[in-house]
Chains A and B, each alone.
Chain A
Amino acid sequence: MGDNKLFKLIVRVFIGFGVILSLFPFYWMFVMASKPNSEIYKTPPSLTLGNELFKNIHTVFTQTTFFHSVLNTLFIAITSTCLILFFDSLAGFAFGKLKFKGKAFLFTFLMGTMMIPGQLNIIPSFYLMDKIGWVGSYKALIIPGMANAFGIFWIRSYCTDAIPDSLLESAKLDGSSIFRTYRSIALPIMKPALAFLALYSFMGSWNDYMWPLIILNDEKKYTLMLALTQLKGLFTTNYPLVITGALLATLPLLLIFVLFSKQLIAGITDGAVKE
């Protein structure tokens, strides 16, 4: 082989460097979140963990409305994920497996809507929400996105390959209606695609920032991301508490990743290659 030792060493060092850069900010979150405020400002900075993590978590949960915002975010993320799964799987199944007039046109149109830059929508959407009284309401965060082009496109590509036509034919011969076929035959086959879409939607909703920032005006209704930036304003001189909040907002995502990293990575690569 043409790979000499020096080259192998350089490659390993480079990858190692990448791994350290990837992981260090997570470690640093734990370091900062586990220390009392007085120990943060040392020079040279101390790189070891402290032992006040649970005390800091306790403070954040009891002295602020942070925990409440976790519940708010869970509610929004779970509701919108369920709605997205339902509407996208139904439409994706129709586009992938059913024959109907105008399908090609409708699908091209759907793909075209993905090209519209999202920022164009923000001001007039706010106007619309204001007019229909949805400013300050979770409806504005959940309803507009509950059937989205990306998810439909995603489910469609999966259905086209994964559901054999013969299966649908025989269901039809047995007198099963399209909706029953969708529920009892298509949905179970779609499960892997739905799993990715669920993770993707949940994480998107969990991390969403600009739209909730514009729509929500009552602190009681704040999502986690808004509560986080608020924490920064609340504890301007207490970094450990701010980072404890950031850590708490990140931990569920880390847990999801540990459990489902394979599905997530496979889903993202498939999505990119198909596009």
Chain B
Amino acid sequence: MMHHLPILQVIVPLLAAPLIALLRGREIAWLATFIVTGVTFVISLLLYYQVSESGARLVYDLGGWAAPLGIVYVIDAASALVLPIVTGIGFVVTLAARHLVTAEIDQRDHALFFTAWLLTIAGMLGQVTTGDAFNIFVFLEISSLSAYALVAMGAGRDRRALPAAFNYLILGTVGATFYVIGLGLLYMLTGTLNLDDLAVRLADIEQTRAAYMAMAFIALGLFLKMALFPLHFWLVPAYSFAPSAVAALMAATATKVSVYVLVRLMFGVFGIGFVGISEGLGTVLLTLGIIGAFVGTLAAIIETDLKKLFAQSSIAQLGYMAIGIGIMTPAGLAAAFIHLFNHALMKGALFLAIGVIGAQTGRATMRTIEGAGRQIPMTMTAILFGGLALIGVPLTAGFISKLYLIRALLESDFWVLAGLTFVSSALALAYVWKIVEAAWLKPRPEGAPDLYETPMMWLPAWLLVIATIGFGIFASPLINGAVQAAAVFFGGQS
């Protein structure tokens, strides 16, 4: 049984999804989904412990066919770190989905909603576990297609969800197509799709123009999927018009998985020695990352809709991850992994808390939260802590992220970039302060509807807030995990 965990990680939610479509009873679809996400979370934790205990990578041959002919699933320190984020966030957000989905989605659509929900999660888990480049594409499409459907389900409350979903679909498809074009070129050059095999064979032919083109297509496709500036325009409408639970799930996990796939292909397949990677892509990531950090932060400062505000902030945060990757050192990559992990926690908490407000008022804006600090203290405090973590205040996970990113930059003598990164992250103070001022320092306007909260509503957000603070205080396990994950790509494996 333990031996089959790598495939169970993906297959459990994948097979559960169509079965849930059949469950039409009230609440039963949610309950089944909740149990399935719980099981996937446990599996990912078991995988993490197996990998971190033994230090070895787990390779699972699908159907008994060995690589490179068969498809393999590989769990190493990097994928073992990303899996618990996806499953853990999936689990907590599913817990919250109970009231969010009841409030926002028509009862008849619940079963279909949770089917798409599990498919998205299964697709993301597949991208992380598989050791086959084409398999990544398949899972990318599984998660994306179901995500388009989930975003479109926001149309029940706001029709603007439909153009947002369509936009997302077109751009997402462009991204996936670019990825598969690049893959086609690689297959043409090497005759294999297995990631390890690709790395070995590419080493012989790496300096050809076709290989550069392949890398460029793949990188561009993944930039689109991870919403790196300036390819981020689909993200803000998609997150802000999606149902609250979907926004929370996607903001916390979807782009992170694309970041992971980018790292896997950049370092695991092309390798640090590949000229296009070491001399080209690094600079591109650093440049776009820092611009994205400023553009996202500044856009967030002038935004008044909370979902859009934090979606813009996600653009900035993805910029920091891009910078971490672009430094091209083990320390930089570790910083990117640390931030990938921490940011998932913060953004999950924030979007869940905003969902509590959005489910009652339709949209959470600066006006609807005026004076809300007294009416829904737990929810607003969760937003405050999430915001503090985004700024990078000590004792939150955000501080650890910032510390390691700045250190990685300084160690590689990127002094100016370190200063800019620091300034842009400190600018987050401006939009967090705006929220504090509206929620606590302004009185509730006359005639504004009363907001309420119950423990079931704020508990999921608080679970993630506690995790954010927990990983800010007891940071060593995460740092070690991230350092090991980075070592996978710098330990001579490529």
Q: Is the A/B pair a real complex?
A: no
Residues on B close to A: CB < 8 A?
none
Chain A interface residues (CB < 8 Å from chain B):
none
